[in-house]
Copies of this chain bind each other. A is one copy, B any other.
């Protein structure tokens, strides 16, 4: 008889589970074949010297998963299992030593967030609550534009924190800027010409090219995108980052905002796409609301993300469509379902609604401000040859370093001292490099003590330790 497993009283697996596993393995191995009759619960329980309940538990699970069937008044029979699924475990993932990233003492990258204050336990509590409710909404498709309560909460946040005028119906939730743009490309006419910031986000040219959207680089000055080049360019849509231009860190001046809105207002086919990627963080001076708040003519498409405010691994972004584009979107993109899983949308909704988001943002702002102050102070003390710009907002700043080194030399010298910094030139398309090299420094992911350590190492790398 194949049904003689060695059952052990183990705390980690109940007896009925052990028996289930054993019988299942015997069926899969072909030792018990289709149509074969299994012993009755009573007989097997006696044979194994276990309770009938143990056998009952095992048989029920086997029944449930289709390994056996029961025929009334005649007993249990092994089922044909060739259409059942087996999924062997894979090897647990262990980082291979060779694939590790180079070990930096300090990495001033700017794609991450603070590593010490992520609200894991709050999210754990909320996930537990949400999944415990067994909400039938989980078993249906997601709303095409995103979970309505989350859109309500985002609209409330945008109104209060960024001055954005919108109703929740205008919000489209998606997975990231690239997905929002690919929706826009489908809503707007194919022949549209897009103007993108130069220097600007390096993913955009490739994103536009792969989506067969025409684009031209636009010149920038200290106030933002230059109005003269906008006027000459013949573009239909400008893609801008007014709150904290990437990568230069400039905050677009009020005058320039007005000029660009005027430009857009001159033709009904002109649009501004405002990417407010790190607009949550402004550290001093007058708060600057989103450009969208000044838009009286439905010319601005506002894009936001939770990548900086929470974490890039959340993959939740959204845009606010002007009413007439919303109608177009609904008419033309009916096949498109919101890509964000409902669980994350519900989690984020509760996180905002229960007040955790407000607290988290204000706490992170305090933390980031401290890091930024330590960084700016340290860098300014380091040498008069360093000029800091773009530090009033966001999570990165730009250094002009006038010590005679080129950008490449600055990066290499920092690297030799174990510090990773980034060059502005990687973000230039046609614009010529600044005569004084520009270095990008992100401070979200480093600790306060790493900021000090990093500045000390940069002093060594760039000024031979003379501080």
Q: Give the residues from 170 to 191 in chain A that come closer than 8 angstroms, CB to CB, to chain B.
A: 174-176, 178-179, 182, 186, 190
Partner of A131, one of B91, B127, B206: B127
A120 to nearest B CB, angstroms? 5
Nearest B residue to A80 by beta-carbon distance?
B284
Nearest B residue to A280 by beta-carbon distance?
B85
CA distance in complex: A67, B285 (Å): 16
A303 to nearest B CB, angstroms? 15
**Is A65 part of the contact surface with B, judged by Cβ < 8 Å?**
yes
CA distance in complex: A313, B131 (Å): 13
Q: Give the residues from 233 to 282 in chain A that come closer than 8 angstroms, CB to CB, to chain B.
A: 280, 282
Contacts A86-B160, A90-B153, A335-B207 known; A141 to B343 CB distance under 8 Å? no
Nearest B residue to A123 by beta-carbon distance?
B131
A60 to nearest B CB, angstroms? 11
A409 to nearest B CB, angstroms? 27
Interface flags, A64-96, vs B, CB<8A=1, else 0: 111100000000000010111111111111000
Nearest B residue to A366 by beta-carbon distance?
B66
CA distance in complex: A178, B176 (Å): 16
Segment at the B interface, from A2-10, A37-45, A107-115, A423-431: A107-115
Cβ A178 vs Cβ B344 within 8 A: no
A49 to nearest B CB, angstroms? 27
Residues of B within 8 A of A111 (CB): 141
Cβ A161 vs Cβ B87 within 8 A: yes
- Sample of 7 further A-B pairs with CB below 8 A, known A127-B127, A127-B131, A137-B313: A85-B160, A87-B352, A90-B152, A90-B155, A90-B156, A92-B353, A120-B134
A residues with CB within 8 A of B: 63-67, 80, 82-93, 111-115, 118, 120-121, 123-124, 127-128, 131-132, 134, 136-142, 148-149, 152-153, 155-157, 160-161, 174-176, 178-179, 182, 186, 190, 203, 206-207, 210-212, 280, 282-287, 311-316, 332-344, 347, 352-353, 355, 357-359, 361-363, 365-366, 369, 445
